[in-house]
Amino acid sequence: METSSIEIERAATILKLLGDKTRLTMLKMLDSHDYCVCEFVEIFKVSQPAISQHVRKLKDAGLVGETRRGQWIIYSLNKESDVFPLVQNLMNHLPNQDFKLQELEEQGLRISCE
């Protein structure tokens, strides 16, 4: 009935982070694929610094990790996070976002980071 529980204050911090359409969508996307910043920039209609700031917040909270690959930085879900079970659980209530990846591919914008 009760999974291992998270301090309420920490949970509130995490939920506030996810209470933003852009970051929530990012996380759901990362649930099926890794993404680089430039892809996020193409997908969301905001500036590159805005995207950098969003991923930074997710990273500071320990929700995502980054790996450099050449000049690109690839972000991925951090499955080791203590709040990963909660996040994962949440994600199951959200619609799949793979269509965004498909749109990218149709526009030939996915190739860039490979």
Partner DNA sequence: ATATTATATAAGTAAATCATTATATGCTAA
Partner DNA sequence: TTAGCATATAATGATTTACTTATATAATAT
Interface contacts to a second copy, rule CB under 8 A: 1-9, 11-21, 24-25, 28, 85-86, 89-90, 92-97
Residue 66 interacts, among DNA, a second copy, none and using kind-specific CB cut-offs from 5 to 8 Å, with DNA
Sequence-distant (≥ 6) Cβ neighbours of residue 43 within 8 angstroms: 29, 100, 103, 104
48 makes contact with DNA (CB under 7 A): yes
CB of 40 to a second copy, least distance (A): 15
d(CA 95, CA 98): 9
Judged by beta carbon distances under 5 to 8 A according to partner kind, the member of a second copy, DNA, none in contact with residue 95 is a second copy
**CA–CA dist 102, 82 (Å, integer):** 31
Task: Output the six-digit token pair for 84.
Answer: 């990963």
Q: Which of 10, 33, 56, 79 binds DNA (CB under 7 A)?
A: 56
